[in-house]
Amino acid sequence: MQQQHRQPELVEGNLPVFVFPTELVFYADEQTSHKQVLTLYNPYEFALKFKVLCTAPNKYTVVDATGAVKPQCCVDIVIRLRDVRPCHYGVYDKFRLQVSEQSQRKALGRKEVTATLRPSALQEPGGLRSQDDERRAKDQLADSEFFEQTVFQTESRPATGGPSLLTVLLGLVCVAALMLPTLGEQESTVPVYLHLSVNKKLVAAYVLGLLTMVILRT
**Residue 180 CA: distances (Å) to CA of 196, 204, 205:** 7, 11, 12
What residue ranges do the domains of the chain occupy?
A: 18-118, 164-177+198-217
In tens digits, what is the pLDDT along the chain, a chain of 218 residues?
Answer: 444 444 444 444 688 999 999 999 999 999 999 999 999 999 999 999 999 999 988 999 998 899 999 999 999 999 999 999 999 999 999 999 999 988 777 888 999 999 999 998 886 544 445 555 555 555 555 555 656 654 444 333 444 456 778 888 888 888 888 888 888 777 777 787 778 888 888 888 888 888 787 777 65
- The C-alpha atoms of residue 40 and residue 132 are separated, in whole angstroms, by 30
| pTM across the whole model | 0.56
- The superfamily (CATH) of domain 18-118 is Immunoglobulins (2.60.40.10)
Q: Which residues pair with 94 in a beta bridge?
A: 114
